[in-house]
């Protein structure tokens, strides 16, 4: 009788989550659009309305201008801050969600990191996993200072990311069991 394979065949690939991507675009469009409207109001519409109010005869106009200087300044500041902030936040979120997570055999490939073999992984921190879907993986060659990477199932597809975390967890458990078994045999 043959033993079933411990790991399912084929690569596990987690691409960027569609919801994360559309939320990024929605946030960008909302911030950029609000900035453009603030530029229009703060630099053009509100001053034009106030100039039209000032050009009316005193008897025909309201006691106060339609737009106070504070609202004009507020819109000017928003107009100058929101479009660049939208570009920066959109670029940052696009950078964070570049590429894909891939577990090819025993090699984990994550954007921004060199390929990591399962044997290089020291620990898996699942403190934020249940609540936020974030797993921290420490890896590196033996004796060197460990590096870390994060797996986030909000940014990348949840099911494949969960499968990758499960495979890492099983590998670490098997590694611990093998180490414990080797220690107990040497102690006998």
37-55 mean pLDDT:
94
**What secondary structure letter does DSSP report for 133?**
-
140: which 2 tokens? 């590196």
**What secondary structure letter does DSSP report for 57?**
-
120-175: pLDDT as tens digits: 998 999 999 999 999 999 998 877 888 999 999 999 999 999 999 999 999 999 98
Q: Where are the beta strands (DSSP E) in the chain?
A: 12-14, 101-104, 107-109, 116-117, 121-125, 134-139, 147-152
| pTM assigned to the model | 0.76
43-54 mean pLDDT:
93
Going from the C-alpha of 39 to that of each of 46, 83, 85, the distances in angstroms are: 10, 10, 14
What pLDDT does 4 receive? 39
Question: Does 2.170.120.12 match the CATH number of domain 101-187?
Answer: no
Q: Please check the confidence at residue 70 and state whether its pLDDT lies above 80.
A: yes
Cα four-point dihedral sign 42, 46, 48, 50: negative
Core vs surface per residue 102-116: b (16+ CB within 10 A) or e: bbeeeebbbeeeeeb
């Amino acid at each position: 009788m043959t033993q079933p394979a411990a790991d399912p065949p084929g690569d596990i690939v987690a691409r960027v989550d569609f919801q994360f991507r559309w939320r990024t675009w929605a946030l960008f469009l909302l911030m950029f659009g609000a900035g453009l409207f603030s530029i229009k109001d703060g630099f053009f519409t509100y001053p034009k309305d106030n100039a039209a109010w000032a050009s009316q005869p005193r008897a025909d106009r309201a006691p106060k201008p339609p737009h106070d200087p504070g609202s004009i300044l507020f819109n000017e500041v928003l107009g100058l801050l929101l479009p660049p902030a939208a570009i920066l936040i959109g670029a940052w979120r696009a950078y964070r969600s570049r590429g894909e997570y891939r577990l090819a055999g025993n090699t984990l490939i994550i954007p921004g990191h060199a390929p990591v073999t399962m044997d290089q992984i020291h620990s898996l921190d699942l403190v934020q996993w249940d609540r936020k879907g974030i797993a921290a993986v420490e890896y590196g060659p033996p004796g060197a200072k460990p590096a870390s990477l994060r797996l986030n199932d909000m940014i990348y597809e949840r099911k494949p990311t969960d499968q990758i975390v499960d495979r890492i967890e099983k590998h670490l458990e098997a590694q611990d069991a093998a180490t414990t078994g080797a220690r107990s045999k040497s102690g006998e």
